Structure 1
């Protein structure tokens, strides 16, 4: 770190000598300005904010000691002074001591003596800077603890409240506000360090850890126009650096007293919840932008749940997507509270896992859906769109799994049904009777047989009967009516019609045909 030095002397040759013959850079200093009298020196000190002022005593308009005396009365900022004096100016030196000045350089200034004195001064500046940092850190931590207590409704300790008055910018602040920064817990320490760094130049700004993944910045405003001293600029940089999807920033309401900051805090927390319905990249939300939009805690829980579960049970993936879109519209239109929606989604996921247990581990990668997806849903950073995306994935996996399981099971059961039909085709069989025997819905059973066999149940039944009849015609002397009855036809006319359709000739012609 380089410390800034201001040189004040009415002798141009003296200024030039000090500039040229002292290696300021090597000693850890940089010259920030020069002037020739105390009056001008006061103005430059206010403007340049030097760490060290080296001044002559005898100067026109205002001498060096008068300048120092006036500075001490008007300003509280600490500046270290070095007096340029001669051997005959001991009385002036005594006055300087009364101002707390104990560094002198004799004129004419010799570089070797000046170098030794400046090294000592630099060491003092570094020690003072370290003490200042330690004090500011300790005071800042105390202030953060006090303000955090105020956020949670605890009354401030009067002594600690007095401490705030000593911190930079607190005495001048005429209004107060809070912004909350929400991020995932693992990113929180990094975001906090970055925020503290960005706010280093902001007066009356205290950063504190609140809940897991939540930071608070309480800041004062020094004018009635609500200027925030650079807070907004710092927050914009955070958004750019970490991405708007990774951090949410909510601003509360301006309060005239720090003792009322609890109200601003609760409004900022309410504002933070509205990110749930915001698109990704919403940036910074302020309470005045969401004021008058209360969350609802009542909605058609059973209707939405049944509509989605029915689609899963019916293996209707397209219907499931449409039902989910309808649920999303309902949530948005009614502005259902985020925590209520999360409970609904988690409840539905576990219901889906109950219908299709294998869906818990059907996802790609390691872990299970119940341990990974549900934990993600519970994170406050996950918006409605993210919840619905996970819910859609869960439902589609469950339906796909159920379809595969059903196909696997149906392959085996069709074999059983075909075997039963082959053994009982001569009886009075119907799709309804088979459905009762195998505990399946008649419509589903009919569709399953067509899918697996490629023909309808009736076509299959007639085919088996006619093939059996053909064998009897070739190998027996039974009458046609007897054959029809033996293979399952109660109606002789139907037998003749079916035989001719399948064999392309009548039963008598078939019996006498030569094969």
Structure 2
């Protein structure tokens, strides 16, 4: 619904407007009423209505002054319709100069005002559609630019383009706010995007889907950015696990990558502490480099777990934790915690891929082991890792047996992983030692779709993801989704979605 504000110093006029007009019919709802210009201005500042009906002669600030103030102070002022008992040419001329949408004389005619509402509804909705399309295209472009920066590109052309977007020429200090939450992401994103629509701020999504805002230090921009982080935490911490992390760096546009990396390091630190909250890169401990995951040792431990080699777990756990001896320093404690958190997340990922009960497993672990933050000795860490690994091995084995009793499940898993390759039902039947006709029937019974339908759906879903989240060309999306060429991909995409890939990418 679009919001409309009614402004008149005569209560009977406000009552008549409220009761006489079917606002909902034209997509409007009354968001407020005011009997003078100052009260109206306060509502406009706070609620940003789409449309304002206002009288001219009112106490304190008259209607024309209210319109002028809105135009001068708001990046996107509401549309105005004048309601007046005066048909003076001077008033009409002034109103037209201020680009008022219409000038209606009192007493108000119901048909006349509904004609105006119909026109305004159409005009505002068309404008909103255009704005959403423009913002969607701009967000895609900005994300591409920022992710190129994050990946280390430092060409002068890229720097100039980013400077232009942020309107930050000549400004040295940069700040980055990164936000990560486990729920409420759509609401948080809308809140952040509204904030970042103001000058000197820029919303982005990084490659892992985290929300962020960049700001150059212009006037009080960094103070307002910090207020955003605090307000988000206050608003959503009761409903979600949320981290707001800040990174700061000097050096103009070239500092944006470092500001982002500092914010990301702060966010990881907070996550490794198993805490929600607000953190700044300056708050990180200075007694060592941020701990990183020992990927080689972690992979070896996972291979042992997945192959069911229970006797090899103790050896691989010791290798992962690399016994630092007694009397752990804080940095060593954090190193070990990072390895165990990576192990936990990997176990949960594998269990989820097998359609296991992740929440139940987490609850059992919590009941059995407690929390990582309560552990401060190496033997306790090692015992935690050993028990976690044994329980993961048994849970994954049990889940795998439950699923692998059906050969069709393994076929579906294979298609889910290999859908980008050239797949044929006959070849799958040979690979899994089945009759092709029976496999086709059993596949449809398991998934509700024929093999070809299921394969096309997987490829189209992957294509949609790439169109939304990457800057790849249509031809590149086609190949990455499993289609042999762009023409065939486009025809299949149109058949299954009703629109061309380029049109889908432009959708808000």
TM-score between both structures, scaled by the size of structure 1: 0.49
TM-score between both structures, scaled by the size of structure 2: 0.50
